[in-house]
A and B are shown apart, each in its own frame.
Chain A
Amino acid sequence: MVKCKLCGERAVVKIRYAKTYLCPKHFTEFIERKVKKSLIRYRMVSRGSKMAVAISGGKDSAVMLHVLSKLSKDMGFNLIAIHIDLGIEGYSEKCVDAVLSLTSSLGIKCLVVRLKDLVGRGVGDLARITKRPPCSVCGIVKRYLINAVSIELGVDAVALGHNADDIIAYTFKSFMLQDLESIPKLGPKTESIDDLAVGRVRPLYEVYERETLIYALVNKVPFVQDRCPLMPRKSLEFKIKDVFTDLEYSMPGIKLSYLKNLAKRLSDYPKPGTPVRSCGVCGLISSEPKCGFCKLTERVTGRALGKEVRDRLKSLIINLV
């Protein structure tokens, strides 16, 4: 039996980069301490602030909410959960169940936003009709709705569940494609822009994907383990994750070094060429006269739905409060 380096109990995890073995209790404390350090180091939250937490039903955002729920009491900030039901048959129902099971066990209010109620169709239909990849449509929908809800809630920031491996995969891919303007948006924190966009924070910035899975298992955090049926089997991000998993094994800690150095150099990357403006239909952030969500819904329904969707969200929020 391998023993915890801190207490001698049975170890459940070897953390190669920290040269240690930990039991469930000390591993849980290790992860919570790591997230707390990121919240402080990257100034993600302040005492008395209000944070929305975007939760999908997957392990990463579920673990993020679980950890933030503990830290919020200690650090004095307030939480509300947001879940976007993407209307993916046989999958979204499981996600909603997992999210509500977690939020009710933690005593955190959760706003469930159902895409089908807002635009009449789920992500799969939107992708099929517009002939766009489902992940691209899903990204537009989630980014828009999470931002729109966060604006209406009046929160100071919205927390996203991207883990260390996600951020490495996205930034490395952006570098490979020389889409350098996208890289600063993937850092630990982006700032709010008045009335247009709520700032985003990534509390799991330095937490490895393997660590979120172990935290979820050790703490019995409910999450959906199924594969999203719309997700492709192969992608460049997956390949990059595999490469970095191999690198981490032979050079423990290389992923942490990458992320810490990236955070220091984010301001050196170029800013987007087109200035930020307000969508002519819904008034939220856009780089063009019409935002991606309004253009998408216009293609599908013949009408840009951003303004109507924002009005519906306002009434959803009034009912929640």
Chain B
Amino acid sequence: MVKVIILPNGDEVSIKFSRPVRLINVLKELGFNPEGVVALRGDELITEDDVVSDDDLLKLIKVRSFG
């Protein structure tokens, strides 16, 4: 189960994949455009072409500012 926290709101979602997939597949599944978010695995930034595994904890930060 890939667990995803969406910032700045802090919403959490989990998605099940039967095998490792590229981040872009996760984003598509969640309805995000890769140009509109930045993704972190732990404290590391990853690209949309990095492969994520079933036990990964991801943070997605929406790019659009609110200040």
Contacts and interface: CB of A to CB of B under 8 A. Distances in A.
Interface of A: 1-2, 10-14, 16, 21, 24, 56-60, 95, 165, 209-210, 213-214, 217-218, 224-228, 231, 238, 241-242, 245-246, 248-249
Given A2-B49, A217-B45, A226-B8, A60 B65 contact: yes
Interface of B: 7-8, 33-36, 38, 40, 44-50, 61, 63-67
Given A60-B65, A209-B63, A249-B33, A214 B38 contact: yes
A21 B36 CA distance: 17
B66 A245 contact: no
A2 B34 CA distance: 16
A225 B36 CA distance: 15
Nearest to B63: A210
Given A214-B38, A245-B36, A246-B33, A226 B66 contact: yes
B39 to A, nearest CB: 10
B67 A57 contact: yes
A21 B50 CA distance: 11
Contacts of B46: 2, 12
B33 A224 contact: no
Given A1-B50, A226-B8, A13 B45 contact: yes
Nearest to A229: B66
Interface centre among B7, B8, B35, B36 (most CB of A within 10 A): B35
What 7 pairs between A and B have smallest CB-CB spacing? Answer: A227-B66, A58-B67, A12-B45, A14-B47, A245-B36, A210-B63, A249-B35
Contacts of A226: 8, 66-67
Contacts of A246: 33, 35
A210 B8 contact: no
Contacts of A165: 64
B22 to A, nearest CB: 10
Given A1-B50, A226-B8, A248-B35, A214 B45 contact: yes
